[in-house]
Amino acid sequence: MLRTGEIERIATLRLSQIGSGGVHVAVQLRNRRRVAMPRLPLHRYGLFQSANPDYVCEMLGRVLGSQRIDVTGGTASLDARLHTRRLSDVSISFLAFGTEVIVQSNSPSTHFAIHLPLTGASTSICEGDRFTCTPNLALVVSPGDTVGMHWHRGCTTLIVRIERVALEAELATVLGECIRRPLRFVRQMDTTHGGGALVSNALRHFAAQLDRTGGLLDNKTFVRAFERMLIVELLFGQPHNYSSRLDTEHAPAMSRVVEHAVAVLESHPEQPHTVTRLAEQVAVSVRSLQRAFQVELGTTFQEVLQDIRLRRVHDELRTAHPDDVTISAVMAKWRLPVKGHTYAAYRRRYGETPMCTLKRGT
């Protein structure tokens, strides 16, 4: 038998004296080398390959959010292919189509997404902004954005989704304060230099590691560290509406009073805190503490405490099973009133209801 990579030897088959015509036939197998096809990114995590538009939309919707696909490439087959791997707060996918398509999508309010073309190009329209995505220019989608993308033939893309709560929690940690406005990134990312190049290189390395059996990404501790590194690189490498606050040369330092007060609330948010008691603990007057919160954090004591408690509820619901806990019990544990305004505040903060968080964690 012929083996891949071996040179096939020339064989000549001579058939003599067939019939009365004395026909002489020579069949020659020419030299050739069988070349193994290169593997696609994330080849170990193939989810589907299909030419059925309805099925493709359904499957993409489960992984990437609501999608609508229009085939514009004539008679060529859709031949959509998706490879995907979910870790903890980050998932990475490889998406390719066999022809030109237009994809309309609504970004879920719970995720950020980075679209990094590996080959070819796509034209994107996002909230009125139009530009071309190439391996040198990626697209960063913030929660709630509506995106239209014209995938040109030959375009293949890595799509990385990052949990909104993880990104904003890391931002809050870096800033040393609660996040009051939704985090929103500049949509275009230059991947040829600067922070964009760091993020792009990290994503490509991420995908390459996932293709290796027995790699470091099989280690949960390493995965957590790698995800945090990726999130920090994105926060510092891609401009967003908090970037100026991350500039340590110009960002004002939080006073010791506010830093101490927030630390007290963070350490025991389940306790019955009042602004009077907190002022006593940090040794200032109630008026001085309230003013410090407003001037330095742009918010109030009550809002800071509620944000901390909502975060604890969210963290607990993410890891719980619906059969083991109730939402009201978790809220009561962290001293949040089980009322409509609490549910509304939770939805504004995390882009989903507490029940959605609880079900998604299973």
In this predicted structure, which of 27-31, 124-128, 140-144, 299-303 has the lowest mean pLDDT?
Answer: 27-31
Q: What is the pTM of this model?
A: 0.68
pLDDT at 16: 37
Query: pLDDT-derived band of residue 24, with 50, 70 and 90 as boundaries?
Result: very low
Can you give the pLDDT at residue 168?
A: 87
3-state helix, strand, coil in the chain (%, to 5): 40, 25, 35
Q: Quick check: 213 pLDDT over 80?
A: no
Question: What share of the chain in percent tops pLDDT 70?
Answer: 85
Which residue would you say has higher pLDDT here, 134 or 26?
134
Distance of alpha carbon 148 from alpha carbon 361, whole angstroms: 29
- Residues 314-343: what's their mean pLDDT? 90
Domain with CATH 2.60.120.10 in the chain: 43-244
Rounded average pLDDT over 107-123? 89
262-317 tens-digit pLDDT:
889 988 999 999 999 998 998 888 888 888 888 887 788 888 899 899 989 988 89
User: For residue 253, what pLDDT is reported?
Assistant: 56
Average pLDDT, stretch 141-169?
A: 91
Model pLDDT, residue 287: 87
pLDDT band at 211 (very low <50, low <70, confident <90, very high): confident
Residue found under tokens 């064989």: 11
Position 111 pLDDT exceeds 80: yes
The CATH 1.10.10.60 domain(s) of the chain lie at 256-360
How far, CA to CA in Å, does 250 sit from each of 152, 233, 253, 286, 299?
43, 20, 9, 29, 21
CATH superfamily, region 256-360: Homeodomain-like (1.10.10.60)
- Provide CATH code, domain 43-244: 2.60.120.10
- Averaged pLDDT of the chain: 82
Cα dist from 337 to 67, 97, 312, 333, 348, whole Å? 37, 49, 14, 10, 16
How far is 232 from 235, CA to CA, in rounded Å?
Answer: 5
Residue 159 tokens, joined:
């799509």
Q: Find the range with the poorest average confidence among 43-57, 225-239, 249-263.
A: 249-263
200/215 Cα distance (integer angstroms)? 20
The predicted pLDDT at position 39 comes to 81
- pLDDT of 328 > 50? The answer is yes
CA neighbor of 123 nearest in space, from 103, 95, 97, 108: 103
Q: Angle CA(149)–CA(351)–CA(138) in degrees, nearest 5? A: 30
Single-letter code of the amino acid located at 345 = A
Of 296 and 189, the one with more pLDDT: 189
Closest by Cα among 292, 194, 304, 204 to 243: 194
* Beta carbons of 263 and 269 less than 8 angstroms apart: no
Reference 357, options 310, 304, 303, 287; nearest CA is: 310
| Out of 37-51, 171-185, 227-241, least confident range | 171-185
Instruction: Inform me whether the pLDDT recorded for 320 exceeds 50.
Output: yes
pLDDT at 21: 40
